[in-house]
Amino acid sequence: MRHTLREAWSGLRRNLSMTLAVIVTMWVSLTLFGGGLLGAQQVELLKGRWYDKIEISVFLCVADSKGGNCDPGQGATDAQKNAIRTTLETNPEVATVYYESKAEVWVDFQRVFKDSPVLADMTQDMMQDNFRIKLKNPEQYQGVVSAVSGLPGVQAVSDLRQYLDPLFDWLNIAKWTTIGLSVLLLLAAALQIGTTIRMAAFSRRRELGIMRLVGASNWYIMVPFLLESLVAALAGALLACGSLAALQKFLIIDKAQPSRESVEWIGWSHVGLAMLGVIAVAVVLSVIPTLIATRKYLRV
């Protein structure tokens, strides 16, 4: 073991500049990779919070409604309301249906706009009664929207998902772009590790040949090189973990959470999972290139 550690330390000192280059590349690439993992977890948190709260609102025609399936100057009749309710309640994708009358909408409107001058120009008759629908599966909403959109008495169907889906699409694009860039940098780091180990093995090729001739095992020969690459990769991983911790503390906890308290933000448990992923990738990227680079020197 003493010989192994001495050889690994000697290799690190001999290729110090290449080792530092590997550490920096691993640091940057693993930080991007960890940031992509954190971004993925944040998107899932937002989806879980907002998608579960999404309700489809079916706004009914009133006397001054324009467009939709409304008759000019006439609001939705009781027969039309009953037909809409029946359509909703018999839909297998619907969990609950709640009818909100004009009076209920007016009470809520007064509460929201109690300090606004808009309230003075509004009356209860101007309010729009509606059905609010809770879905069994928030992901499956298009069938409900299409089922009621064409019914008589329906002025409009509102679904928050039509605004959230493009947002989540862009967030997913940003997440996968970050991960994609990190993968390219990780590939560069893996190539650097392979080059560094290959140079180290080439400089000691005579010594390795003698070791093979006297019966040294492949494992005994490879361990110093594995330690060299593992030290460089773990150093980059630890720096990346520190960067992720700083991102969580200074950006999420100190900045984002106080300004947007209604949003559920990632916590230290999510950062811990990202760190485990970063360390696992670092270990894999240190072992595989080393095994490939030293393979030719394990033959006599």
Q: What is the pLDDT of residues 241-265, one digit of tens each?
A: 999 999 999 988 888 888 776 667 8
Answer yes or no: do 45 and 93 share one domain: no
- Cα angle, residue 162 at apex, residues 156 and 164 outer, rounded to 5°: 140
Count of domains for the chain: 2
> pLDDT at position 238, please?
94
Q: Determine the average pLDDT of the residues in 145-158.
A: 86
The tens digit of pLDDT for each residue in 166-181 reads: 777 777 787 788 778 7
Residue 60's SS3 state is: strand
Sequence-distant (≥ 6) Cβ neighbours of residue 18 within 8 angstroms: 192, 195, 196, 199
197 and 293 assigned to the same domain: yes
Q: Are residues 79 and 132 in the same domain?
A: yes
The residue from 127, 144, 159 where one domain ends is: 159
Same domain, 89 and 203: no
Tokens 């809520």 label which residue?
Answer: 108
pLDDT digits (tens, 9 = 90+) for 53-77: 567 888 888 877 777 788 887 888 8
pLDDT score for 275: 94
Domain range for 95 = 55-159
Q: What is the CA radius of gyration of the chain?
A: 31
Same domain, 18 and 76: no
Closest CA to 196 of 294, 298, 280: 294
Residues 174 and 149 in one domain: no
The verdict on 97 and 188 lying in the same domain is no
End-of-domain residue from the set 132, 159, 186 = 159
pLDDT of residue 240: 93
Same domain, 204 and 245: yes
Pick the last residue of a domain from 112, 135, 159: 159
- The pLDDT, as a whole number, for residue 137 is 76
Q: Do residue 72 and residue 92 come from a single domain?
A: yes
Same domain? 280 vs 180: yes
**Residue 71: CATH number of its domain:** 3.30.70.3040
